[in-house]
DNA sequence: ATTTTAACATACATATTTGTTTGTATAATT
DNA sequence: AATTATACAAACAAATATGTATGTTAAAAT
């Protein structure tokens, strides 16, 4: 039953998809390698051939998903003179759209969210932290640029705006993923972001007219 | 070795605390009942006497933490004429303070966040959802009251404000709990909430002065 | 055409965890 | 004071998952 290299690569990939489905459905630690093997149409022998153990399989799965478009974010910031806040907002909304339409990514993120990280999975947590930190730093740079150009309302600092956006995105996606996707992520997210970003932009005189003016109490 | 009723109740509580610590440290599914028993200074016999199995123990632990102060929120809304938005903000900040100073609650929440919910734990997830929904509904009521009294900026609706606040709190607490509490939850949370709530309040003429006025492009 | 080796399947040995059963000392009951 | 039921500990049985070792077949290599 010796397979050609292409076939072997296919079973490897089959194992990975099966692992993704089962880790997602039963949780990483509740899914057994026997389950994964059966779902992939192979025996554990195949799994142990391609991966050294469950942790290794998990790490391979984790590495198989390419993380969000940092480069895009970085490039958007470079673009001079354009509407920086608008760019950030668009990028964020796009990211939500992608997540909403990519079940693969949904499952991976869900797995990452709700797996309990025992000691051997710590590298995953740490790498997640790294990526997050870099990402947040880029965001803060973008907001800093917006701020220096006068496009950030005085109420916000680059750092606070970054965090508000970050936390809102985190809460939004977590709730959506963990609680059965009970709402339209793209639509609701877009709406929420629109309002949040409206708050980021400086207030202009003509905006005040529409609101009732309250006297200070 | 038959113990008095009080002693028995104490071992039961010891088991619960040990379970809390170990579920927190190793994750629910990676912590064995033997671990818990050892940590509690008993044998598994004691655990099986007080609880029927691990799931039951987990549920008991979950039930032992009283959920956030819905009643307080409900009462605050009733209070007439007062600054509703201010009340919500204060309540939220207080909630963060409590979480920041209550390690017990921190561990419970962390456990709930990162345990993978296999089928037998589903009741927990569902109850969490229930509580969350009720809580969110109360919040929305409060924002609706604020709105009807003209205290909510036109940019926001009760529902959108609720969600923005909800998601931000969720993201904030999740990041803090899951990523090693790397920042000052109470301080940063308070700051972020201050800015978010500033955006909730209607803009008044005198606020515009401090900001540079940009011409419309 | 042989030989070798890659890509698995199969079988096995072991460790781990769980659930249950039995034993037992003592508090509570009568 | 004798009995009973409680609150466990200790032992046992069974299931489950893991890791490894061995077998097998066909693709490559020679």
Residue A55: give its domain's CATH number. 1.10.10.60
Q: Do A116 and B115 touch (CB under 8 A)?
A: yes
pLDDT band at A217 (very low <50, low <70, confident <90, very high): very low
Please report which helix (H) or strand (E) contains residue A188, including its range. Answer: helix A185-200
Give domain status of residue B14, yes or no.
yes
Closest CA to B105 of B66, B55, B57: B66
| pLDDT in the model for residue A155 | 96
Give domain status of residue A211, yes or no.
no
Q: Are both A83 and A161 inside the same structural domain?
A: yes
Q: Are both A196 and A129 inside the same structural domain?
A: yes
Q: Which domain holds residue A81?
A: 70-202
Q: Are both A160 and A176 inside the same structural domain?
A: yes
Asked whether residue A214 carries a pLDDT value surpassing 50, the answer given is: no
> Contacts by B94-100 with C-beta closer than 8 Å and gap 24+?
B95/B68, B95/B69, B96/B169, B96/B172, B96/B173, B96/B185, B96/B186, B96/B189, B96/B190, B96/B193, B97/B186, B99/B173, B99/B185, B100/B184, B100/B185, B100/B186
Q: Do B174 and A169 touch (CB under 8 A)?
A: no
Q: Are both A51 and A88 inside the same structural domain?
A: no
pLDDT band at A102 (very low <50, low <70, confident <90, very high): very high
Mean pLDDT of chain A: 90
| pLDDT in the model for residue A206 | 66
Mean pLDDT of A42-60: 96
pLDDT tens track, chain B, 217 positions: 688 999 999 999 999 999 999 999 999 999 999 999 999 999 999 999 999 999 999 999 999 887 766 777 777 777 776 799 999 999 999 999 999 999 999 999 999 998 877 778 888 888 889 989 999 999 999 999 999 999 999 999 999 999 999 999 999 999 999 998 999 999 999 999 999 999 999 987 666 544 444 444 4
User: pLDDT tens for residues A145-193?
Assistant: 999 999 999 999 999 999 999 999 999 999 999 998 999 999 999 999 9
Nucleotides of C under 7 A from a protein CB: 5-11, 16-28
Q: Are both A81 and A179 inside the same structural domain?
A: yes
Give domain status of residue A209, yes or no.
no
Residue B121: give its domain's CATH number. 1.10.357.10
Q: Are both A53 and A85 inside the same structural domain?
A: no
Give domain status of residue B216, yes or no.
no
Mean pLDDT of A87-115: 93
Measured between beta carbons, the chain A residues lying within 8 angstroms of B166 are 171, 175
The A residues from 84 to 123 touching B (CB cutoff 8 Å) are 113-118
| pLDDT in the model for residue B2 | 81
Q: List the single residue in B27, B114, B167 with the smallest CB-CB distance to A192.
A: B167
Chain B residue whose CA is closest to A119: B26
Give the residue from B163, B179, B217 with the most A CB atoms within 10 Å of its CB, the best one to mutate.
B163
Q: What is the C-alpha separation between B14 and A125, in angstroms, rounded?
A: 31
Give domain status of residue A21, yes or no.
yes
Q: List the single residue in B27, B202, B208 with the smallest CB-CB distance to A29.
A: B27
| pLDDT in the model for residue A107 | 94
Q: What is the C-alpha separation between A58 and A208, in angstroms, rounded?
A: 54
Give domain status of residue A192, yes or no.
yes
Q: Are both A39 and A74 inside the same structural domain?
A: no
Q: Are both A95 and A193 inside the same structural domain?
A: yes
Would you say A16 and A39 are in contact if contact means Cβ atoms under 8 Å apart? no
Q: Are both B168 and B127 inside the same structural domain?
A: yes
| pLDDT in the model for residue A103 | 93
| pLDDT in the model for residue B209 | 46
Asked whether residue A127 carries a pLDDT value surpassing 90, the answer given is: no
Q: How many domains does chain A have?
A: 2
Give domain status of residue B213, yes or no.
no
Q: Are both B194 and B91 inside the same structural domain?
A: yes
Give domain status of residue B103, yes or no.
yes
Greater confidence (A119 vs B195) lies with B195
Q: Are both B99 and B59 inside the same structural domain?
A: no
Q: Are both A77 and A125 inside the same structural domain?
A: yes
User: pLDDT tens for residues A2-36?
Assistant: 889 999 999 999 999 999 999 999 999 999 999 99
Which of A63, A80, A102 lies at the terminal end of a domain, its last residue? A63
């Amino acid at each position: 039953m010796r397979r050609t290299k292409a076939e072997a690569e296919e079973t490897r990939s089959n194992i990975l998809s099966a692992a993704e489905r089962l880790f997602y459905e039963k949780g990483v630690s509740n899914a057994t390698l026997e389950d994964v093997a059966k779902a992939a149409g192979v025996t554990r022998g195949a799994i142990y051939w391609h991966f050294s153990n469950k942790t290794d399989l998990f790490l391979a799965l984790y590495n198989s998903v390419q993380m969000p478009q940092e480069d895009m974010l970085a490039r958007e910031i470079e673009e001079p003179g354009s509407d920086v806040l608008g760019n950030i907002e668009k990028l964020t909304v796009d990211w939500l759209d992608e997540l909403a339409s990519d079940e693969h990514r949904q499952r991976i993120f869900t797995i990452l969210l709700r797996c309990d990280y025992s000691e051997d999975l710590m590298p995953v947590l740490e790498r997640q932290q790294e990526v997050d930190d870099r990402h947040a730093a880029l965001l803060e740079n973008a907001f800093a640029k917006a701020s220096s150009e006068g496009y950030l309302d005085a109420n916000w600092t680059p750092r606070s705006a970054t965090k508000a956006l970050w936390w809102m995105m985190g809460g939004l996606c977590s709730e959506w993923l963990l609680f059965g996707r009970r709402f339209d992520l793209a639509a609701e997210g877009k709406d929420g972001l629109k309002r949040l970003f409206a708050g980021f932009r400086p207030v202009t005189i003509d905006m005040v007219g529409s609101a009732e003016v309250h006297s200070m109490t």
